[in-house]
Structure 1
Amino acid sequence: MDLSIVIVNYNTKKLTIDCIQSVLNSKLNFQYEILVVDNGSSDGSVEQIKSLFPHIKVISNKENVGFSKANNQAIRRCSGRYVLLLNSDTIVNENTLDTIICFMDRETSIGAVGCEVNLPDGTLDKACHRGFPTPEASFYYMIGLAQKYPTSPKYNSYHKSYLNMKEVHDIDCLVGAFMMVRKEVIEQVGLLDEKFFMYGEDIDWCYRIKEAGWRIVYNPTVSIVHYKGASSRKKPLKIVYEFHRAMYLFHKKHYAKKYNFFINSVVYTGITLKLAFATINNLLKKVH
């Protein structure tokens, strides 16, 4: 088996079906399997997916166990040389998978690869091309210097948009919406960290992959479409909390020991304040 495609579904029945169909429509000259993990959906997803695609492996959870844990459930059952994390709210273009596998077969130093991820309006989903969220990078991004100086390696190290976005190059972080990883890399660095419920697990994985000496590469010669946030719209407060919690977990795990007490305190205070403002803003929107 060459490729194992893992899709996590949570109440996105139509999107998931469209995503699976886009994979089946791909011009793929390799053996592949699709594994769908359902996180306790209430929209009839499991029954519909099993009916339409009886050859697909479906893992059905009774509750929403989170993105990391659900992916890990499937990864443990994957038999492919490569494992692709693919969001349920994506559409894969017909040449994307074949091109990426051929690319990985040629470039054996690459541990994980991503492609150009576009939003429905054609603009780039910036999450597919990131630097690690160091305190400095996060600070410049939060105060607006990254947006003001997009071509500056110093101020825009968060999204690294100063790099040529039309050329293949190494990057720090990919996005879990489309991330192809070598099976041997997973065996070396381990599965996704299940402390991350639905944000930050992709950044953490990329960090560990690079620490192990593998390259992370952005390949914009192929692309997908990402209907972003489709499975997270119904519980916005939970989403806001998990997003900020992931920031805290990542810093504590990878950076806290590298910085002094003052810097760490500033980081944790900043995350707490950002969470408070985001929560208040969310509640105000509900009132109006």
Structure 2
Amino acid sequence: MIDVSIIIVNYNSYPLLDACLESLYKETKGVIFEVIVLDNGSTDSGLDENISKYPAVKWIKKESGSGFAAANNEAFSAASGNYILMLNNDVVFVEDVISSVAGYSASINDEAIIGCKLLNGDLTHQVSIVDFDTIGNLFGENFFLYKLFPGNRFLSKYHLNDPMLKEPIEVDAVKGAFLFIPRTALNKLNYLDELFYFYYEETDLCYRWKLTGGKVIYYPMSRIIHLGGASTDSNDWFKYRNQHISKIQFFQKHFKGIKFLFALTIHESGLIIRFPLYFLIGLFKRDRSMIRKAICYFRTIFIYPARVKGE
């Protein structure tokens, strides 16, 4: 019987996928696991080489890409483990984190979605926990107050990210680079919501799980390296456009009335502020990437996703 089904959705980025799989097989010893890689319409060469190098992996090849949530859901349907691990392709394992997290999950009767500590490539702490959006932390985020008051739970959705934490804590949501989910929880939630094309799918999953009375746990005793942004860093417009759309879709789905109007107004105000700010900084520093970022923010101001019927 399979303990853990490890799901990786890959788009191009084959060297990163290779490093992920190599470290995964090297470090994971204490559980019976399967790896399912769904190649989401990649255009780069390298797939055949990875297939040859890792024959134990179950490969699902899609000729055309779908949204990240939809791609994961397709891979979930092929999984047979008691637990599902959603894993980014730009993760590097440095210890047997999967066995450790599986053991902890069993010790709490598999009642929680669990995330582990994320590290940057230089082994510094990376944001691993986020609070759900509130009017307060949206204000803090969009007007940069979270940077001035990082420990303020009202203004910063990242206030729990203490690198010195040594014990598991209950949180709102953990980052989706490593999302460990009991199969029973995933089935109860009917998988990821495919409304979210890219970004916010893991936050929505955690939100819906907590609405059922479930828990989300940050488990800092185990760690992985997350290089971050492997499939999106080369396309600024894809990243900022989809971050913007998914955030508004989360508001549409979970916020009502005046709370929705306040959230949307604060978010749009943040975009309006960022355009001239980043544009001027880019000109002053002669930084083209900053100017591109400013233009992306300007373009997103004019995008508003249609509400899905029934919301």
Same fold (TM over 0.5): yes
Once the two structures are superposed, residues 139-191 of structure 1 have per-residue CA deviations (whole angstroms, 9 ceiling, x without a partner) of: 11222332222233333344433696332101111111100001000111121
Shift, 1:109, TM fit: 5.5
Aligned pairs for 1:57-68 within 5 A: 57-68=58-69
Once the two structures are superposed, residues 55-84 of structure 1 have per-residue CA deviations (whole angstroms, 9 ceiling, x without a partner) of: 211111112212111111101111111000
Residues in 2 aligned to 1:154 and 1:93: alpha-carbon distance in whole angstroms: 34
Once the two structures are superposed, residues 181-237 of structure 1 have per-residue CA deviations (whole angstroms, 9 ceiling, x without a partner) of: 010001111211112122111111110111111110001101000111111122211
The 10-residue stretch of structure 1 (268-277 or 48-57) with the greater mean CA deviation from structure 2: 268-277
Q: 1:76 to 1:278 in 2, by over 3 A?
A: farther
For 2:304, the equivalent position in structure 1 comes to none
Q: 1:106 to 1:262 in 2, by over 3 A?
A: closer
Are 1:241 and 1:275, in contact at CA under 8 Å, matched by a contact in 2?
no
Shift, 1:99, TM fit: 0.5
* 2:14 equivalent to 1:7: no
Secondary structure of 1:259 counterpart: helix
Are 1:168 and 1:220, in contact at CA under 8 Å, matched by a contact in 2?
yes
User: Sequence identity, in percent?
Assistant: 28
For 1:29, the equivalent position in structure 2 comes to 30
For 1:266, the equivalent position in structure 2 comes to 265
For 2:200, the equivalent position in structure 1 comes to 200
For 2:300, the equivalent position in structure 1 comes to none
Q: 1:55 to 1:286 in 2, by over 3 A?
A: same
Question: How many residues end up aligned between the 2 structures?
Answer: 285
Residues in 2 aligned to 1:75 and 1:277: alpha-carbon distance in whole angstroms: 43
For 2:124, the equivalent position in structure 1 comes to 123
Residues in 2 aligned to 1:170 and 1:111: alpha-carbon distance in whole angstroms: 9
Are 2:19 and 2:92, in contact at CA under 8 Å, matched by a contact in 1?
yes
Residues in 2 aligned to 1:74 and 1:228: alpha-carbon distance in whole angstroms: 21
Aligned pairs for 1:100-115 within 5 A: 100-108=101-109, 110-115=111-116
The 10-residue stretch of structure 1 (214-223 or 21-30) with the greater mean CA deviation from structure 2: 21-30
Residues in 1 aligned to 2:237 and 2:36: alpha-carbon distance in whole angstroms: 29
Secondary structure of 1:8 counterpart: strand
Q: 1:196 to 1:8 in 2, by over 3 A?
A: same
Aligned pairs for 1:134-145 within 5 A: 134-145=134-145
Once the two structures are superposed, residues 34-70 of structure 1 have per-residue CA deviations (whole angstroms, 9 ceiling, x without a partner) of: 0001111122232122111112111111122121111
For 1:172, the equivalent position in structure 2 comes to 172
Aligned pairs for 1:1-288 within 5 A: 1-108=2-109, 110-126=111-127, 128-161=128-161, 165-255=165-255, 257=256, 259-260=258-259, 262-267=261-266, 269-270=268-269, 273=272, 284-285=291-292
Structure 1 vs Structure 2 CA RMSD: 2.5
Q: 1:44 to 1:213 in 2, by over 3 A?
A: same
Residues in 1 aligned to 2:177 and 2:13: alpha-carbon distance in whole angstroms: 14
Are 2:86 and 2:178, in contact at CA under 8 Å, matched by a contact in 1?
yes
The 10-residue stretch of structure 1 (213-222 or 260-269) with the greater mean CA deviation from structure 2: 260-269
Q: 1:107 to 1:274 in 2, by over 3 A?
A: farther
Secondary structure of 2:173 counterpart: coil
Are 1:37 and 1:70, in contact at CA under 8 Å, matched by a contact in 2?
yes
Shift, 1:277, TM fit: 6.2
Q: 1:247 to 1:159 in 2, by over 3 A?
A: farther
Any gaps of 5 or more consecutive residues in structure 1? none
**One-letter amino acid of the counterpart of residue 270, structure 1:** S
Are 2:142 and 2:270, in contact at CA under 8 Å, matched by a contact in 1?
no
Residues in 2 aligned to 1:260 and 1:150: alpha-carbon distance in whole angstroms: 24
Are 2:151 and 2:159, in contact at CA under 8 Å, matched by a contact in 1?
no
Are 2:69 and 2:197, in contact at CA under 8 Å, matched by a contact in 1?
yes
Any gaps of 5 or more consecutive residues in structure 2? 283-288, 295-311
**One-letter amino acid of the counterpart of residue 259, structure 1:** I
Q: 1:109 to 1:215 in 2, by over 3 A?
A: farther
Shift, 1:269, TM fit: 3.0
Are 1:46 and 1:60, in contact at CA under 8 Å, matched by a contact in 2?
no
